[in-house]
Amino acid sequence: MSDPDKPKIILRPRIRILRGREIVMGPGKAELLAHIEETRSLSESARRMKMSYMKAWLLVQTMNRNYSKPLVQAERGGRAGGGARLTAHGRRVLASYREMEVLSLAAIQAPWKKLRRMLKPSSA
């Protein structure tokens, strides 16, 4: 068990992209795309994220209407429960977003170490 006097220190960078008032990419939407890529099922992806099917479907609709091409496509002859797959556009968008996350995290290591040393000690 972790020492309550030495709480865990967590760095949480979050990149969100807005188009107008809508978030068109962020941690949740990226996770949903990754699950769709893996499971080829919107209902299974929703279940893994403890999200309703309707919520997942709305996130997909938000993405599909804001990019120049859809990111997610219903599978031909779509299975019961919502067969879905990423389009080539969807895979490229997700890859660019993941690249942003990785590059951001790498770039901030030096000042993060400096800042971290100015906090009270942690258990981590």
In the complex with a copy of itself, the residue whose CB is nearer, 26 or 74, is 26
d(CA 43, CA 20): 28
Question: How many CA atoms are closer than 13 Å to the CA of 17, on its beta-carbon side?
Answer: 15
Pick 69 or 79: Cβ nearer a copy of itself: 69
Give the residues lining the site for a copy of itself (CB under 8 A).
7-22, 24-25, 66-69, 89, 92-93, 96-97, 99-100, 103-104, 106-108, 110-112, 114-115, 118-120, 122
Least Å from the CB of residue 80 to a copy of itself: 31
Minimum CB distance to a copy of itself, residue 86 (Å) = 13
Q: What angle do CA 20, 92, 33 make, to 5 degrees?
A: 70
Question: Closest by alpha carbon to 94, among 35, 14, 54, 47?
Answer: 35
Shortest distance in whole angstroms from residue 5 CB to a copy of itself: 10
Q: DSSP character for 22?
A: E
